[in-house]
Structure 1
């Protein structure tokens, strides 16, 4: 992942949707994932699924990178919204991590990163780290399977129906985000290495894939690649034994390692 910034052509998700509607061939994917300098000419078709009220995606002038930023505010209900908010719901089984800090009421909720437009799959794998490891289509952050420096189980009580919590910075998912994907092939988001992640099923077969690598990744077509095979992740279909999670069963969203650096 590159953390520097360079001049970008400002293209929003909304603009991408317009382009997709006006062009029968919206896919800019390539089966050649061995070069992180491969240029593309337009946003990947998968970006049309991202919440345009929260997420902005910008393609670099040379077509080799995406700059992705989000407000961090999801477009679904949660106990972590302020009680007066339209998306607030009461979840009696959830023990909140923060009693007086709500989505939209804290600091550091926005997130951003720059990724290669064509992930480099030839290098070494990279372990995930704490904090934001990706952005979901809802606009909220994706975290790994750890809480602080320990196991996620210690914070399972605080996870809402979406497999997420706020504490006290960004609202973020640790588990399969059920408002986005619940045992299906829906696009979930994009990770720091530029690889998209999908639900537990694969659109190419309509079943749970059996050929995933250690990261939950494989190379097949997706609903956004116009028949071209592309490496992508899935939520691995293994139940996470979180006995104190208010909702069951639980599936870790992404533990890593990253494959696309």
Structure 2
């Protein structure tokens, strides 16, 4: 009988060790797959963003306002423009200039789009996977916001309307390649307020992949292995392990500019609401 009891104790002990080890292994697996905020999100403006994890998703909430100067901030100059339908649109003069207002340089009051940045102070939310993956096939971008810049404002593609290229609207863009309307102040071209022929982080595209400037931190120069969307896999200033990300492509547009994102989504896009 005592041998049976001794044998039973050994079996129970081994079972306990096995269960304990299995529990530890499962805990380690859970820890390894737990979502974390990517270090790149530290570059997004703290005043204009709230960024947090919700399960395995990252939630970005922005007020849509940029953190830099622009002639599109409210100012004491009234502007009038005629829309494509022949209607006169007036942007009223403010009683004083906004603290971030600067006089137009590459555009003019006569060319500027209607509305001021202050008119578009709103709420924009983007939910993206904490660990985005490439989709089985690419998908085209549409009108409206396709991403959010680190400044707080929206990223648009290279169209000004349905099948309307940006060409005729370039004159309305400010020095950092942005203008107002119809839903927000937004960027179309290289954002010179904080990136000019460099590797700076521009923002995140709505499929969850980051967009960087024309150069890549992994080589210090223009990447030569970009796909049709301007993406490739390499390390960045925010990631020591190689990961997929986009770049502004180093291809001139209208002999003077660089389009932020003229390609297709390589991941699965999410709506910016």
TM-score bin (small chain)? 0.7 to 0.9
Runs of 4+ in structure 1 over 4 Å off:
none
Q: 2:172 matched to 1:184?
A: no
- 2:263 corresponds in structure 1 to 256
Separation in 2, partners of 1:216, 1:251: 12
Q: Which moved more, 1:41-50 or 1:86-95?
A: 86-95
- 2:220 corresponds in structure 1 to 206
- 2:57 corresponds in structure 1 to 65
Separation in 1, partners of 2:250, 2:123: 30
Q: 2:242 matched to 1:229?
A: yes
In the TM superposition, residue 67 of structure 1 has moved relative to its aligned partner by 1.2
Larger RCO, structures 1/2 (Cα 8 Å, 6+ apart):
1
In the TM superposition, residue 92 of structure 1 has moved relative to its aligned partner by 4.5
- 2:175 corresponds in structure 1 to 161
Unpaired segments ≥5 residues, structure 2? 1-31, 76-96, 269-273
Q: Which moved more, 1:120-129 or 1:136-145?
A: 120-129
- 1:90 corresponds in structure 2 to 103
Structure 2 counterpart SS, 1:154: helix
In the TM superposition, residue 179 of structure 1 has moved relative to its aligned partner by 1.0
Question: CA 1:127–1:239 in structure 2 vs 1: closer, same or farther (change >3 Å)?
Answer: same
Unpaired segments ≥5 residues, structure 1? 1-37, 243-248
Q: 2:128 matched to 1:115?
A: yes
Question: CA 1:222–1:40 in structure 2 vs 1: closer, same or farther (change >3 Å)?
Answer: farther
Question: CA 1:106–1:204 in structure 2 vs 1: closer, same or farther (change >3 Å)?
Answer: closer
Question: CA 1:168–1:239 in structure 2 vs 1: closer, same or farther (change >3 Å)?
Answer: same
Larger radius of gyration: 2
Question: CA 1:168–1:127 in structure 2 vs 1: closer, same or farther (change >3 Å)?
Answer: closer
- 2:49 corresponds in structure 1 to 55
Q: Which is richer in helix?
A: 2
Count how many residue pairs are aligned between Structure 1 and Structure 2: 212
- TM-score, structure 1 length as denominator? 0.78
In the TM superposition, residue 180 of structure 1 has moved relative to its aligned partner by 2.0
Q: 2:154 matched to 1:141?
A: yes
For the aligned residues, what is the CA RMSD? 1.5
- TM-score, structure 2 length as denominator? 0.75
- 2:137 corresponds in structure 1 to 124
- 1:46 corresponds in structure 2 to 40
